Amino acid sequence: MAALLLEVATREQLGPIVMEPLSLPTAELTVAALIAERVRSQTARLTPAQQESAVRQALDAFARGAFLAIVDERRRTDPDELLIMNENSRVQFWRLMPLVGG
């Protein structure tokens, strides 16, 4: 499948929703690959080793539930789930804030 350019919404805790472009190498990818592409796009100025470390940290955070990945209005929890994206796909990443004392 061909490359795809999407707008991704990101929200950290109670901050504003920020829209940023994300270029994907293919329209078919797993949730883990989508997260990895997002991290690589945000860390483009780092060395490849630093980028891969950031990807591992992000995937670990996803596994711990530190952020949500919402694709086409549905929360995705399985990093191995295959996504088939198109130019109308909506991608959102929400960083969660722990409750005080929880």
Interval 76-98: pLDDT, tens:
999 999 999 998 999 999 888 77
Q: What percent of the chain has pLDDT above 70?
A: 93
Give me the torsion for CA of 27, 47, 53, 87, rounded to 10°: -20
Is the pTM higher than 0.85? The answer reads: yes
C-alpha 87/C-alpha 21 separation (Å) is: 12
What the chain holds in terms of domains, given with CATH numbers, is 4-95 (3.10.20)
pLDDT digits (tens, 9 = 90+) for 58-77: 999 999 999 999 999 999 99
C-alpha 21/C-alpha 10 separation (Å) is: 11
